[in-house]
Structure 1
Amino acid sequence: MPQQHQDDVSEKSDIGEVDQHAVPTLDKRQFVIKGDLQYVGESGHNNAEVTYQNVDGAPVEVTNPLGYHVGWWTAFFLNVSMIIGTGIFSTPSTILRGTGSVGLSLIYWVLGYLITLAEISVFLELAFPKPQYFFPVAFAVQTVILQFMSSNGFVLASYIFKLSNRAPKDWELKGVAIAGLTVVAIVVVANNRFALGLINVLGWIKIATLLFITFTGFAVLGGAFKNIPHPTANFHNSFEGTSSDGYSISNALVSIIFSYGGSTNSFNFTNEVKNPIGTIKRTAFGAVSVVFVLYFLVNVAYFAALPKATILKSSQITASLYFQTLFGAQAAKGLTIFPILSAFGNLTAALIGHSRMVREIGRQGVLPWPKFWVTTRPFGTPAAGVLVTWFVSVIFVLIPPAGNAFNFVIALQNYPSSFYLALTTIGLFFIRRQRTRLGLPRTEYRGWTFVAIFYVLANVFLLIMPWVPPKAGINASAFGFFYAASSLVGLGFIVIAFLYYVLWIKVLPKLGNYSIRKVVLDLDDGSVAHKLARVPNAELQAWDAKHDPAGHSLASSEELGTEYRIVEENKV
């Protein structure tokens, strides 16, 4: 919004007088402007407080076309069902191999919990807009290309074959993984309320499964299983064998973070939750705390029932070996249904949450064809996000060798994610400074500064340590080939995001003699989105005179009752 237009607007009483104390209501929009800082305050029908955000953010949908079907328990289980997936059944052996000792592996589960709490705190407050469109573009590339679910698809397939007592060939494992992903995609696309209800049911089953393992672990420690004569053996000299290999230690931390992944899933449903900040804050912190206690006790149960050497060899089936040791091979075969249900619930929660995330990226306008990404037709669900996520997941099922795919895919996803999260968490401090300069009220939730710093350091650690070669040689990686392959591929995706941004936002406008401007799209299903329009530079002044800073036409702004507050440059 050019300075001249700002001055003109501030003088027009029909658009709204400058009011230093005006607060937008449900039927009113307010812009707060200081130089190139432009924020807009809006509210929706979900009883949320007025949200002030940079004008480049996705426009608020006053009435959400996806409905308001996410209550307290659904928000809780959206997190629980995505956190408790395959990690607790499959990665304890990976973490034990990386840390080298029982004691350090248990400490890692505590460390993962603390990092996850920090992540939740940052996500409750986070949104970083500068430089214009760069972070949305980077997040879009990471989300659309790298937030695939192939790793959990592989584990689901592995447990299905374990249930059938078969050793699958590579193509069989991949085929079953794709079939599982396809079934989940159909469920999520077909009916929103059914998918959310299914997540609640499977969430209870997940908690019951971990409680079952926990209580049987207590029984083992109490001596109830005579076939386990020394249940406390792993807890004697528990730090014996602790690894000093930086590569292995960092890989173990990646696996821990993977096991807690999904703690912020309910954030994807903010506009579908009544009183969202309070609800999501309590359910997110509550879900991860409940899961942490269960995770820790389940690991204690594993270490009580299984020798350390057995866990180290267990690959992705630690839970099955646990059941087999306690109840015999036949019973263990039947109990494998619980990890299968857990994996299916995790895929459902991940896909329904990720489809919302993709839709929000589309609403911001940083993807081509915004109508395709944003519409909820024909089933009242974000089908485009589901379809793209399914497609990318299938690609990453087919490309890597099946035996190494699980660990490679986790490591590959980690690198761009850690890079993005480190930068955006640093950006949180810039956002706070911007809000102070504009005189905006504190956000409804504001995390402790030391928590944000801790989260930045954790992600920086995950960016640095994967480049340290393993002591056993450059091919002694968790996925069986060159140790830095996952980091190099992840770095390549970061470069792709940067080049896409430079080409789209910088190079092409300069070559084409046009500028990029936002325009608000109102779709017939009630969806609202930004479209980034190419405006010839010769027509730029006329365009700006007809649109407010967020891309609404001034005619619609007048109907809504828009107000402008211009913060003078000499005011801090």
Structure 2
Amino acid sequence: MSKIAQTLLYPIWGSTEDDTSYNLRGTPSEKTSPLGYSNNLLTTVYLVLHGIVGTGIFSTPATILNSIGSVGASYVLWITCWFISLFNVLIYIEFVTYFPNRNGGDVAYLEQSYPEPKFMIATVYAAVSVVLSYATSSAIAFSQYILKAADAEATTWRERGIAAGVLTGVCLMASINTKYTLKISNILSFVKVVFLAFIAITGLVVLGGHTRVRSPTANFQNAWEGTTSDGNAIANSIIDVTFSYSGFSYAFAVVAEHQKSAKEDPIRTYKTFVPLTLFVIFIFYILIITAYYAGSGTIEEIKDSGNTVVSTFFSNVFGTESATKAMSSLVALSALGHLLTAVVSHSRALRECGRQGVLPFRKFWIQVKPFGTPIGPLFITWLVNIIVILAPPAGSAYNFVVDLGTYSSDIFSLVLVIGLLQVRRQRKKAGLGYAGYKVPTALIIILILFQLLVIAIVWVPPSNGTLIGSDVTFFYATYPIVTIGLILLCIGYYLVWYKVLPKLGKFEYRYSVYRLNNGELGNSVIKVPLDKLDQWDSEHTEEIEIEPIESIYYEEF
């Protein structure tokens, strides 16, 4: 095989790009984004805000308190898990410094971290991402709180109908114009910040004794009383708190669409303002949780409030129906903002999966005509979420499919953290250093240990003597078993596709890079018969322009 042909199959290191944009010869880096440049500093900040602050902080604190048992222990969880989230953000920032022209976040960084076995991580992540394209929680939350604001009966199909409608509207909006979709998202983010500040300030007023709430400091006395030692309960608490801090990765899915100018430096934005935004959210969270504990009644009343703790807080503090309706409207807007962010970000991740070349119908995944948006990935995002909203019966089945997505994210997060060490090793071997930012190795070790803990603790059985899950009516460990089974199934598919079929069909796979008319780049995976390998390798020494040219002796996968 010629030296140039080998570069189509194996890693190469930035001979034509500067050190900050070195690239493995995996999915080619699009130096000019065909999706445009709708992202800037403010949008990035708001993407982090929307990604993290959906409905979690308005619903999970009471559930977490109920699981962990005490106010003091809950604060420990909220503080500890914030540091874990910060460490994860730093991991992503180092990846950004290496790959500033790559969209997709996790999918792009995993691909670059694990070039071998060839195609495996791309195949597995792409398959899992398509199957688990879930953004349903925000659509469902929007429908629930809108019905509360309208004082309408919340029937199952009324909730599902509204959720399906808002999901469809958001996907259509994102398909037509990314710029204005993000502008609407920014407006909703501003509303969200005002809402968060209002709850936080109201909590301080309650603590000062200036509202109708009596004994606002009572719940802070004997703060450690009732702390649980139940491993399963602690596990559920950690997962719930981690979920409330997740979502910052949405901002990293649109890195390549960030405006580049003297005033808009993407690297500086991600290095400085993303961690700063996370810190501001942390302050809001602590103040809001404190507000709940001060103004939502006794400890037992807070635990019993479940997912309606914010409603309980407003009702106790203001005592008027109009205040509660206003609160429901604002939480609904918060859920809508999160949905916008999730749809835009996930469509970019799916497009990157398509550009890797391992999914069939490549044009469907990477095409941005006619509006300059990834319509194919947006359609898949809509389709999968519509099925999840409408098909499963209410209750256990819905919780189950959501848990599948959460657990798979935990597994890939662990793989990604380890992947950063892989990239460092690859760069060192290639004679390259860091690109202006380095996460301390000690923090990486902490993250690896924490992710292993989160993955393992879901297997801890409940202490009540039964094996029924807390949010489902069947075996508590069903969703991790199915998640791992799905990943193993994808690995099995890869082994058959990449190892078995070529031997049976007497061919080998080759990488081919193509360029469409508007500058879109991607990989084609080509099946080349063994007796035509030398001819293929000698002829395909350069990037193929416009479209790969088919011939009688090879075919595109």
Matches of 2:506 and 2:188, distance apart in 1: 54
CA contact (8 A) 1:547 1:554 kept: no
Q: Distance in 1 between matches of 2:21 and 2:272?
A: 19
- Say if 2:202 and 2:291, in contact at 8 Å, map to a contact too: yes
Using the TM superposition, give the Cα deviation of residue 39 of structure 1 relative to its aligned residue in structure 2, in angstroms.
3.3
**Aligned residue number for residue 22 of structure 1:** none
Letter in 2 for 1:95: I
Match of 1:482 among 455, 475, 485: 475
CA distance 1:399–1:461, change in 2 (3 Å): farther
In structure 2, C-alpha distance between the alignment counterparts of 1:146 and 1:449, rounded to whole Å: 31
Q: Is the 8 A contact 1:184 1:347 kept in 2?
A: yes
Equivalent residues in 2 for 1:20-419, closer than 5 Å: 37-41=11-15, 43=17, 50-56=20-26, 58-124=27-93, 125=95, 126=109, 127-129=112-114, 130-226=116-212, 228-273=213-258, 274=260, 275-306=265-296, 307-328=298-319, 329-404=321-396, 407-419=399-411
**Offset from partner CA, 1:174-197 (integer Å, 9 cap, x none):** 222212211211221121110011
Q: Rate the CA distance shift 1:50–1:257 in 2: closer, same or farther, 3 A.
A: same
Q: Give secondary structure in 1 for the equivalent of 2:512.
A: strand
- 1:316 alignment partner AA: N
Report the Cα distance in structure 1 between the residues aligned to 2:81 and 2:242, rounded to whole angstroms: 6
Alpha-carbon contact 1:277-1:444 (below 8 Å) kept: no
Q: Is the 8 A contact 2:19 2:435 kept in 1?
A: no
**1:539 to partner: Cα distance:** 1.5
Contact 2:5 2:538 survives alignment (8 Å)? no
Q: Which runs of 4+ in 1 moved over 4 A?
A: 40-43, 404-407, 553-556
Asked whether the 8 Å contact 1:86–1:155 carries over to 2, the reply is yes
Counterparts of 1:390 and 1:512, CA distance in 2: 37
Structure 1 position 381, deviation (Å):
0.9
3-state SS, counterpart of residue 395 of structure 2: helix
Hey, what's the Cα distance between the residues in 2 that align with 1:451 and 1:41?
Answer: 31
Residue 54 of structure 1 aligns to a residue in which SS?
Answer: coil
Amino acid at match of 1:383: I
Deviation for aligned residue 1:335: 2.3
Q: Please report how far the alpha carbon of residue 410 of structure 1 lies from its aligned counterpart in structure 2 after TM superposition.
A: 4.2
* Letter of the 1:475 counterpart: I
C-alpha contact (below 8 Å) 1:90/1:317 kept by paired residues: yes
| Mapped partners of 2:85, 2:284: distance in 1 | 15
Q: Which amino acid aligns with 1:450?
A: A
Deviations 1:311-351 (A, max 9, x none): 22223222122111111233211221100000000000111
Shift in CA distance, 467/72, structure 1 to aligned 2, threshold 3 Å: same
Mapped partners of 2:325, 2:22: distance in 1: 54
Residue 445 of structure 1: how far off its partner (Å): 2.8
Q: Is the 8 A contact 1:155 1:316 kept in 2?
A: no
The answer (yes or no) to whether the contact 1:170–1:403 under 8 Å persists in 2 is no
Report the Cα distance in structure 2 between the residues aligned to 1:194 and 1:412, rounded to whole angstroms. Answer: 32
Identity across the alignment (%): 35
Number of residues paired by the alignment?
A: 522
Normalised to the residue count of structure 1, the TM-score between the two structures is 0.86
Instruction: Show the counterpart of 1:19.
Output: none
Deviations 1:508-558 (A, max 9, x none): 22221111111112122321111111111222222222335xx725999xx
Give, in angstroms, the shift of residue 167 of structure 1.
Answer: 4.2
Change (3 A) 1:544 1:176: same
Aligned pair partner of 1:431 in 397, 401, 423: 423
Please state whether the residue corresponding to 1:519 is helix, strand or coil. Answer: strand
Residues 136 and 361 in structure 1, CA contact (< 8 A), matched pair in contact too: yes
- Please give the per-residue CA displacement for 1:130-151, whole angstroms capped at 9, x wherever unaligned: 2211112222123222131112
**Any idea what SS the aligned residue of 1:180 has?**
helix
Out of 497, 500, 503, the position equivalent to 1:504 is: 497
SS in 2 for 1:516: strand
CA distance in 1, matches of 2:189, 2:255: 20
- Unmatched 5+ stretches in structure 1: 11-30, 557-572
Paired amino acid for 1:254: I
Counterpart Cα distance in 2 of 1:250 and 1:262:
20
Letter in 1 for 2:272: R
Letter in 1 for 2:315: Q
Distance in 2 of aligned mates of 1:234 and 1:116: 28
Q: Which residue of 1 aligns with 2:103?
A: none
Which range is displaced more, 109-118 or 395-404?
A: 395-404
Supply the distance in 2 between the matched residues of 1:528 and 1:546 (Cα, whole angstroms): 20
Separation in 1, partners of 2:250, 2:166 = 21
Cα pair distance change 1:456/1:400, threshold 3 Å: farther
Instruction: Indicate the SS of the match to 1:39.
Output: coil
1:285 deviates by 1.1
Give secondary structure in 2 for the equivalent of 1:439.
Answer: coil
Partners of 2:469 and 2:477 within 8 A in 1? no
Asked if structure 1 preserves the Cα contact closer than 8 Å seen for 2:20 and 2:435, the reply is: no
Q: Measured at CA, do residues 245 and 407 of structure 1 come closer, stay the same or move farther in structure 2, by a change above 3 Å?
A: farther
Q: 1:50 to 1:545 in 2, by over 3 A?
A: farther
Q: Is the 8 A contact 1:255 1:410 kept in 2?
A: no
1:466 aligns with 2:458: yes
Superposition deviation, residue 64 in structure 1: 1.0
* Residue 300 of structure 1: how far off its partner (Å): 0.6
- State how far apart, in whole Å, the 1-side matches of 2:473 and 2:193 are: 34
Question: CA, structure 1 residues 337+41, in 2 after alignment: closer, same or farther (shift >3 Å)?
Answer: farther
On the 8 A contact 2:514/2:545 being kept in 1, the answer is no
**Take 2:186 and 2:15, find their aligned partners in 1: how far apart are those partners?**
34
Give the letter aligned to residue 259 of structure 1: S
Classify the secondary structure of the residue corresponding to 2:305.
coil
By how many angstroms is 1:9 displaced? 8.9
**How big is each residue's C-alpha offset from its partner over 1:108-140, in whole Å with a ceiling of 9 and x where there is no partner?**
111221111121122232541222111122221
Relative to the length of structure 2, the TM-score reads 0.88
Gaps of 5+ in 2: 96-108, 548-557
For the residues of structure 1 that align with 2:546 and 2:159, how far apart are their CA atoms? 58
| Superposed displacement of residue 423, structure 1 | 2.3
d(CA) in 1 for partners of 2:181 and 2:16? 30
3-state DSSP of counterpart to 1:65: coil
C-alpha deviations, 1:7-35, integer Å up to 9, x for none? x899xxxxxxxxxxxxxxxxxxxx7x9x9
160-169 or 452-461, which moves further after superposition?
160-169
